[in-house]
Structure formats: structure tokens, C-alpha cells
Amino acid sequence: MKEFEGKTAVVTGAASGIGKALAEKFAQEKMQVVLADIEEEALEKTVEGLRKYQHRVIGVKTDVLVEESISELFAKAKEQYGNIHILCNNAGIGANSGNKAIWEIEKNDWDWVMGVNYQGVLSGIQTFLPHMIDHGEEGHVVTTVSMAGLLPGAGTYGVSKHAVMALTEALSRDLIAKNTKINASVLCPGFVDTNIDQSERNRPSHLMESKELESESGSQEEDLSSAMMSAMLRQGKKPEEIAEIVFEAINENIFYILSHPAWDETLRNHFDNILSRKEIKRNSEEEISKFFSPREDGEKY
């Protein structure tokens, strides 16, 4: 996709973090932008901030867990700006399972994480893609995945991100096979300075954890895990850096957007491990500690 001025982009999870930075970048490129987020107050603040610079933007409160909410987002975007050209399925949540094994994680956790991180993306594709294909103009779909979508581990979060990786890979093949003018990308960042570690604030009441089933030691493990994650995020790349990389990838039609070269060696080792038919390795304390140490090349994990 080469032409951006006057086109329309829809970004979910746009009130903060990567989504906000993407919306700002598209607006700077003179696009019309529809910002969607479940946090209404933060969304309004972001929209007002963009309007101060005379950008053409609207905000639509959206809960990607609810198909009807995504349908309403589509209807409002189309009514306001007509044809939609870029869809960023960016809304997502982090999930802290501590050291729980997959079989120990309760159903509410699975339903929440898979509902937002996978079903929300699928619903976005099913709702927007027919229109984007039918209007016949160039367009692009970006799914925010994660390094967790390429590497093993990370509990429910990792499972959800592998799922949307596979989904978007299949989408890309289908878009090519059907000779459409729409392309797709997966954004696979490492650590980014966002508030994804505070996702619990948006968990719906009907999908709350059964705290009475949680042991004291389990709670302590989750607290430690949360503290480590928060520390790694705070020293990560800035969302604005990621938005620049994504925009360039859309312009150059790059499918795998790997924004953090510091992970290249880890990825290479993982895929070498697969081709060697070896067992999955668990990160050692030494390997984990490297995430907290500055690299000589200045790259961030």
C-alpha cells in the first residue's frame, strides 16, 4: 500500500500503547482514523489530543469480546469516512498465570484471554474484510501478535498469540489466492513500554478469577512474575518506535514485522531446535537475566 493521504484506518486498542502510537502515525500521514478502545475516558482523551492538531479522527468505544460491538465499530467507521483501507487488530490483553501449568489455569482465564486476543481478532477480520475487498482499493490488515506468538511458553497469552499468528498467516495466503488488493502483516514485538501488564483492570465481572481457589504461594508467584514483567516492559522500546516500523512495513508490504532484532538469536535457536527434532527448552535463569542487561549494540529486548 503506497497511498495513505485521505484513506481511512481503524485501530483497536487505540487509547494507549502501540494502538495510540499507530493512530497518531496514521493521522500524521493525513489519514482519517477511527480509534476504538474499551476504556472510554482514555479513548476520549486520545481523540481530543489528536483533534488539537486538526486531524480527522473519531473514537468509538468498543469491546472486542462482543461481536455486536465490533459490528457497531464497522458501521460507525463506514458511516463517518466511507471506505476503510487499514485495519489494525491491535486490542489485546496480557495474562499472568504465574507458574501454573496449562491444565491448572481455570476456564475463566482461558475464555477471557482467548476471547480478546484471538476471537476479537477473528471477529474483526470477518466484519471488516468483505467490505475492504469489495471496494476494490488497496488496503492492509495488521495483527498485533508478539514474540510469544513465535516462541513456546507464556501460558494462555502464548497460546492466544500462536493462534492469531496462524490465523493471520492463513489470512495472508487467502488474500493472495483470491487475488485481492488487500495485504496482511503480523507485528511481533518484544518488550514495549505499555500498560499491557495492567490488563486486569478491564476484565469483565463474569470472567473474574476464582480467587478462593488460589493458594497463597500461587499468589506470591504471580506477584513476582508481574513485577518482572513490569520491569521488562518499562525498559522496552517506545510505542512510537513500533508505529514507525509498522507504517514502513505496510508501505513495503512486509508480512513478518520483527521490531526487536535483539530476539533474532533466540528465534534462530528455537527454529534450529525444531529442525533438530529436539525437546523444547525452558529458559535458564542466566537466559532470563539477559533481558535486564543493556546490550552492546543498544538494541532492546
Around Cβ 69, how many Cβ atoms within 10 Å?
18
Q: What number of CA atoms fall less than 13 Å from residue 6's CA on the CB side?
A: 3
157 catalytic residue (yes or no): yes
Q: What is the pLDDT of residue 148?
A: 95
Contact of 189 with 146, CB cutoff 8 Å: yes
Check 81, 118, 157, 301 and give the catalytic one.
157
| Selection from 28, 25, 24, 30 nearest residue 8 by Cα | 30
Question: Is the pLDDT assigned to residue 14 strictly greater than 90?
Answer: yes
| Selection from 136, 176, 180, 140 nearest residue 1 by Cα | 140
Q: What share of the chain is helix, strand, coil (3-state, %, to 5)?
A: 55, 10, 35
pTM to 2 decimal places: 0.89
Q: What is the pLDDT of residue 212?
A: 44
Contact of 43 with 35, CB cutoff 8 Å: yes
- CATH class of the domain whose range is 8-263: alpha beta
Contact of 43 with 122, CB cutoff 8 Å: no
Q: What is the pLDDT of residue 217?
A: 47
Note the pLDDT tens digit of each residue in 232-250.
787 889 999 999 999 999 9
Between 80-84, 124-128, 207-211, 253-257, the lowest mean confidence (pLDDT) is in 207-211
Q: For residue 148, what is the DSSP state?
A: G
Q: What is the pLDDT of residue 210?
A: 67
Domain boundaries, the chain: 8-263
Q: Find the largest Cα–Cα distance for the chain.
A: 57
Q: What is the pLDDT of residue 234?
A: 79
| Selection from 79, 196, 88, 105 nearest residue 147 by Cα | 196
What is d(CA 133, CA 84) in angstroms, rounded to the nearest whole number?
Answer: 10
